[in-house]
Each structure stands twice: as structure tokens, then as C-alpha cells.
Amino acid sequence: METRLLREYFKKFLSKAVERENLLKIMLLMIIVGFSWSLFTQLNRSQTYIVDEVHYVCAAKNLLTSVFGYNITWNIKIPESHVNYINLEHPPLGKWLIAVCLMLLGDYPYSWRIPSAVSGVLTVLLAYFIGKKLGGEVAGILSSLLVACDPMIYSMSSVAMLDMVQTVMIVIAIASLLYWDNVVVFSIFAGLSISVKLSSAFILYGIILYLIVTAETRIRALIRILTVILVVSVVYLIVNVPLIIHFGPEEWFDLQMWMIKVHSSFKESHPSLAVPFNFYNPLENWLLNFKPFPLTGNLYAQVNPAITIPGALALAYLLYDYLKNRRYNLLILPAWFFSGYILYILLYIAGRTMQFIFYMTPLTPALDIGLPVALSLIERTFLTRSN
């Protein structure tokens, strides 16, 4: 009798678990579809360049002409100020992707913005897998939902800029470490992210520290570091091959040095300048959305302080938990966020005062994912103590 009742109870429990799992999958699908629908139906919100799009789209067009000899009359005219501009301030991968869309889909605003839009959708999806790996199924769903509702992710996924492509490469790199512990795959996508914007190195150095800390031996740590350096360098060189051929190796190398110098010392004024942290007035910082960056109409690159502040506290808690309990996997989220944010502060102090709030784009998923993961950890800790 007791055995039969136990079997019946187990069947009911299993049935509910299956139903719950299916419900969560439906929720994830709704998040992805809702975000995609809202995003892709708005890609034509502007029929001309949206602020910094003029830099990257015109650069893509000029690179197609000057490097690949692709001659065409563009539907959207290149302004006189950008006739020969190829945006050498940044590596070329982001412009290569825009150029591919220009060739395949034509010179239309929606085609320029597809790389950013696809990157945004993938970031929402991958947030689920990272959150699930670190905090369980519910944490994964909440992570995906928070990323989908993040105003920074949505806004930057709507425009043809470099930041969302940079972001998704970082997210893929981190997901590959969590699921496969594969340093080579991580390094490939780390290299691709740096090939979009050099600032990815600010964020990825924290992940490299994570690789060192989680290595079983010093030899293993050394092998990991050398692997990252080698693979990232090879990927970066491959992405730059057309420019190396176009300029020649020596001039291309000089351009890399110039690029690093520009990004470490840019001091020009701009009405939308924002700071990562102001020591004289701590309220004036990115986490509090001090100065959103206007894109077009009512579209702004901005953060949601209701998420960023609790998210930063959650990541601080995960860092504390690592120091206390050595839960290595959870260290990856604070390493992701704090490495980038702290280096932006140091760069600002060193004199690179031209910074904007949208530089937060590759850091915000860490905050969005960190909050539900930390709550999941707190819940597990509480239940363990109660038992």
C-alpha cells in the first residue's frame, strides 16, 4: 500500500515538474519573440543615420570601395565630412559585418542595423543559459527577462553602432567557458570582441584572472594565459588581413599604436559626456543614469538604476561568497563587470575624459544576470541553514 502511494506521489511530482519545465520554456520563447518583434519592427524608425551611425556605416561603405573595390551608388548619401572616412579609431570587424549586410540587403537603414539587432537577440537568449548554469532554471529565465527589458541593450540593439556586436562576442566567450570550459573557444570570441572594439580588453582581463584562479596548477594557469594570448592575436590578425594588405604591415602596425593612443587620451568636449564615477560627486556616475546618451527621438542609451544598483550589490555579494566559500563559477560574473567598470574609472582618472554611458553596454548583462543568480544563491544558502 505504501509503495503504491509513493509511486503515485512520484508520478504526480514528475508530472508537475514536466509541466513546470514546459512552462519555463514557453516563458523563454515569449521573451525572445517579444524582444525580437519589438526590436525588428522598429529598425526603420529613422530613414537616415542615427548619431554615430554616420561614422560606422560610412566607414563600411568607404572600406568596401577603397579596400575591396566594390563600386556602387549608395541610396543614402555619404556626407561630405565622411567621404573618405574609414573609422581607423576602431578595429574593423563591426564595419565588416555592416558591409556584408550592405552587399546582401542593400543600402537601407534596416540593413545597417541588423548586426546589432541579431546581437541583441542572441544576448537575451544566452543570458538564459548563463543564468541557468549559475543559478538554475528560474534564474535563467529571470536573467533573460532582465536583459530583454534592459533599456541599454534594447537601445543599442536598435542602431548600427559597434557596442552590441562587441557585447554578444563577450557573452558567447563567457558562455563557452561555463558550459565547455574551453579556453580556445573563449579566446576565439574574445579575439572577435577585441576586433570590434579594443575596450573589450578592459573586460576580458578580469575573465583571464578568473582562468588563472580556477586553474588546478600553475602550469595549467600558464598554459591558459599563453593560449588566450596566442589565439586572440591570431584572430585579431585574421580579421585585419584586408587592412594589412591595403596599408602594408608597417603602416598598419603604426595605426594600431595610434589607435591605442587615441583611446587612452581622448579629451574632446561633448554635450553628452558621462563619467563612470565622480569622486567629487558620487551621484554623477553611469550606474545612476546620470546622463543618458540621446540616439533619436525618444530613444536613449541609458541604464535602469532600479536594476544596476541592486545588480552591482548582487555581484559584490557573489564576490564575497567566492572569497568565503570558493564557488569558482560564480566568480565569473563579478570578474566580468568589475574588471571593466574599474578600468573605465582608472582610464578617466588617467585623462581619457571623453566617455559616454553607452560604454556600459557590454557590462550591463553581467548586472542583469547577477541579480537573479545572487538571489538564487541566497535562497539556497537560507534553505541549507534551515535544514
CB half-sphere exposure, 31, CA atoms < 13 A: 27
Report how far residue 108's alpha carbon sits from residue 347's, in angstroms, rounded to the nearest whole number.
Answer: 37
**Is residue 196 domain-resident?**
yes
* Orientation of helix 109-135 relative to helix 93-105, angle to 10°: 130
For residues 294 and 51, is the Cβ–Cβ distance under 8 A?
yes
pLDDT in tens, the chain (387 residues): 556 655 555 555 545 555 566 778 888 999 999 999 999 998 888 888 888 899 999 999 999 999 998 888 888 989 988 988 999 999 999 999 999 999 999 999 999 999 999 999 999 999 999 999 999 999 999 999 999 999 999 999 999 999 999 999 999 999 999 999 899 999 999 999 999 999 998 888 888 888 888 888 889 999 999 999 999 999 999 999 999 999 999 999 999 999 988 877 777 777 888 889 877 777 778 999 888 999 987 889 999 999 999 999 999 999 998 888 877 888 999 999 999 999 899 888 887 778 899 999 999 999 999 999 999 998 887 766 665
Identify whether 4 is part of a domain.
no
Whole-number pLDDT of residue 155: 95
Q: What are phi and psi of 17, to 5 degrees?
A: -65, -40
Instruction: State the pLDDT at residue 125.
Output: 97
pLDDT in tens, 141-153: 999 999 999 999 9
Domains held by the chain: number: 1
Predicted TM-score of the model (pTM): 0.91
For residue 311, what is its C-alpha cell? 545588480
The answer to whether residue 3 is domain-embedded is no
Nearest-angstrom CA–CA distance, 54 and 79: 8
Model pLDDT, residue 20: 63
* 229 domain residue, yes or no: yes
Q: 212-230 pLDDT, tens per residue?
A: 888 888 899 999 999 999 9
Measure Cα distances from 12 to 2, 24, 25, 99 in Å: 15, 18, 20, 55
* Structural domain boundaries, residue 140: 21-386
Inside any domain, residue 315: yes
Q: Specify if 69 maps to a domain.
A: yes
User: Has residue 8 been placed in a domain?
Assistant: no
The residue among 65, 176, 163 whose CA lies nearest residue 116 is 163
Distance, in Å, from the CA atom of 90 to the CA atom of 79, rounded to the nearest integer, reads 20
In a domain, 291, yes or no: yes
